A and B are shown apart, each in its own frame.
Chain A
Amino acid sequence: MTGTSSDLTRVDVAGLSRLLSSGEVSAVEVTRAHLDRIAADDGRLGAYLHVEDDAALAAAAAVDQARATGAELGPLAGVPVALKDLVVTEGVPTTSGSKILEGWRPPYSATVATRLAEAGTVLLGKTNMDEFAMGSSTENSAYQVTRNPWDTDRIPGGSSGGSSAAVAGHLAPWSIGTDTGGSIRQPAAVTGLVGHKPTYGSVSRYGLIAFSSSLDQAGPMARTVLDAAVMHEVIGGHDPRDSTSIDTPLARLADAAREGAAGDLRGVRVGVVRELGGEGHTDGYEPGVLVRTREAIEVLASLGAEVTEVSCPSFDLALPAYYLIAPSEASSNLARYEGVRFGLRAGDDGSRDLDEVMAITREQGFGPEVKRRIILGTYALSSGYYDAYYGQAQKVRTLITRDFGAAFADVDVLVSPTTPTVAFPIGTRVDDPIAMYAADLCTLPASLAGLPAISVPSGLSDGLPVGLQVMAPALADERCYRVAAALEAAQDAARGHRLLDELGTPAGAA
């Protein structure tokens, strides 16, 4: 470890923590290395909507100063972090990828942001996303396209695509994403990262700009399973400011990751979900994704796991149920953007009344996917259609939860591909909502049931990353970390390096 700028952006958080704690590098050096890398490379990737620059350096300098005076600092003090732009940050621009919030500087911070700041981490900036988290490619951002560091003609996944591109592109050591139907797991999968959606209610939603409140969860996106677990421990746990927050202590997630990495899965029962890429259910799945998934499952078996196939027939209904529930809740949540209290106001020329100004503001401020979902949600909640659509979808949610319950009577975790394909080329699905929604096929069941699920790299197909999804019962997030860490450690050992190391430093980078 020589401590040059280019090295520091390739060190994982566990490594940065050691270097910072021992005083081998300063927080300012680490932050500057990342800011330099962002300046050199983000023009190509488009991961960030806002970079903190001087404020980040000032925060890092404060950490160094505290350390110099002998203050007791936590292990993450001075580690940089990037936040998805729907995490509300006091005084720092927050747009949720929408023009309706352009220029808004929130008067308060999300619990997730506060807890990361209290741990001493340094905010690098806010990452691009599909507008209001509605999308699977980040192409629905009102601001810019974000590119996949593995192939800049392809999408970085979504909706947390700025967060995935930043971490895979070494513009941040880790980041916060949010997941409503797969928006942490799918971007992690297609960029070669680890991404975990926590049990619903185990990470506070206070200060996360709402999309679909019964589904939204924030979680870690990182280069290693251990880093993801460490971040989850920082942000997780009860928060009285979120009424759906679960009041039980978090499991020991980092310990679970270390235990998994030791490589012994004897006694762990792994169920392979037939309906997610198994026999008779391979339509829309790329063969390369299925091969990597099979190989990953073989690795788990070789570490001692008992592998069986499990059937969850209601999972076939997850996609239609989700695309009724999420737009319904969105149509209600997005009613707050009325051009009065904060955000954009358009058409207020003195002659128009409030209703007209509101309709013009929302027309100008929202992009096409957001409008589509508001209209669909309004329809699904209309009198006369409510029972047939929203009500029916809520019942399907119960069926999916029952399928999980039956499966978890026999197995400890369930596995599947994270998403049916590798990253697709930019522009190929943006005008075809149905094709775009198919990217969420495998991630939706755990979302609807509120269960924890992780995506961990399983290899490359056509030179592009593939992810394995590991799902667990509610509040058993530690099982996801244990099994994912076992796969990661075994595959890293077999190939002699991390998957992400196959993504070279781009020419011209610092």
Chain B
Amino acid sequence: MSSISREDVAHLARLSRLAVTDEELDRFAGQLDQVLAAVARVGEAAVADVPPMTHAVPLTNVLRPDEVTPSLSRDVVLAGAPAAEDGRIRVPRILGDAE
């Protein structure tokens, strides 16, 4: 199993939408390397023919009747939003200047 470099952590942080600091990159790279070394033992388990287990209880698709049920009102939802305007959630721009 591979180790995790400072560059790996920077890449993963970008994928995870975390604007980590340089100091965090140094710290996390070392700590995550330790954690990965500690969990690497799962690789030694003889599990070639073993099926994966995703849930403790066998799951089947759960359906309900297609009926309208009460939902949260717009005002209640907007009250919890960080920014609202004209009855809608206000979001930062999603397109670049050139688009």
Contacts and interface: CB of A to CB of B under 8 A. Distances in A.
Q: Do A and B come from one complex?
A: yes
Interface of A: 104-108, 199-201, 214, 240, 243-244, 246, 314, 316-317, 319-321, 323-324, 331, 335, 338-345, 348, 352-360, 362-363, 366, 368, 371-372, 374-376, 378-379, 382, 388-389, 391-399, 401, 433-434, 437, 449-451, 474
Nearest to A324: B39
Contact of B9 (A366, A375, A437): A375
A214 to B, nearest CB: 5
A371 B28 contact: yes
Interface string B8-33: 11001111111111001001100110
Given A379-B32, A389-B39, 11 more contacts: A107-B80, A320-B39, A324-B42, A348-B92, A371-B24, A376-B32, A379-B8, A388-B1, A397-B53, A398-B51, A433-B34
Contact of B50 (A201, A360, A398, A433): A398
Contacts of B50: 395, 398-399
A355 B13 CA distance: 13
A320 B32 contact: no
Given A359-B19, A379-B4, A398-B50, A354 B34 contact: no
Nearest to A318: B42
A151 B35 CA distance: 30
B68 interface: no
B93 A392 contact: no
A246 B9 CA distance: 39
A353 to B, nearest CB: 5
Contacts of A433: 31, 34-35
Contacts of B27: 368
Given A353-B92, A360-B19, A378-B15, A321 B42 contact: yes
Contact of A214 (B12, B54, B89): B54
B42 A451 contact: no
B57 A399 contact: no
Contact of B96 (A314, A323, A353): A353
A351 to B, nearest CB: 9
Contacts of B64: 240
A375 B51 contact: no
28 contacts: A200-B55, A201-B56, A243-B62, A317-B42, A317-B45, A320-B38, A320-B42, A324-B39, A340-B82, A344-B82, A354-B94, A359-B17, A359-B18, A363-B21, A368-B24, A371-B13, A372-B31, A372-B32, A376-B35, A376-B36, A378-B16, A379-B4, A379-B32, A382-B12, A389-B39, A395-B53, A399-B50, A433-B31
Dominant SS at the B interface? loop
A338 B17 contact: yes
B52 interface: yes
Interface of B: 1, 4, 8-9, 12-21, 24, 27-28, 31-32, 34-36, 38-43, 45, 47, 50-57, 59, 62, 64, 72, 76-77, 79-83, 89, 91-96
Contacts of A395: 45, 47, 50-53
Contact of A317 (B17, B41, B79, B82): B41
A379 B82 CA distance: 30
Nearest to B13: A375
Nearest to B14: A359
Nearest to A338: B17
Nearest to A353: B93
B55 A434 contact: no
A474 B58 CA distance: 12
Q: Which of B35, B50, B53 has the most CB of A within 10 A?
A: B53
B34 A246 contact: no
A43 B82 CA distance: 31
A371 to B, nearest CB: 6
Contacts of B92: 348, 352-354, 356-357
A375 B52 contact: no
B19 A375 contact: no
A415 B55 CA distance: 23
Q: What are the 9 tightest A-B residue pairs by CB atom distance, in nearest-first order?
A: A450-B56, A394-B52, A345-B82, A395-B47, A320-B39, A200-B56, A359-B19, A363-B19, A397-B53
Contacts of A199: 56
Contacts of A449: 56
Contacts of B13: 371, 375
A201 B62 CA distance: 13
Contacts of A360: 19
B31 to A, nearest CB: 6
A286 B39 CA distance: 23
Contact of A320 (B15, B18, B40, B57): B40
Nearest to B60: A243
Contacts of A363: 18-21
A357 B54 CA distance: 34
Nearest to A390: B52
- Which one of B14, B19, B56 has the greatest number of beta carbons of chain A within 10 Å? B56
B20 A200 contact: no
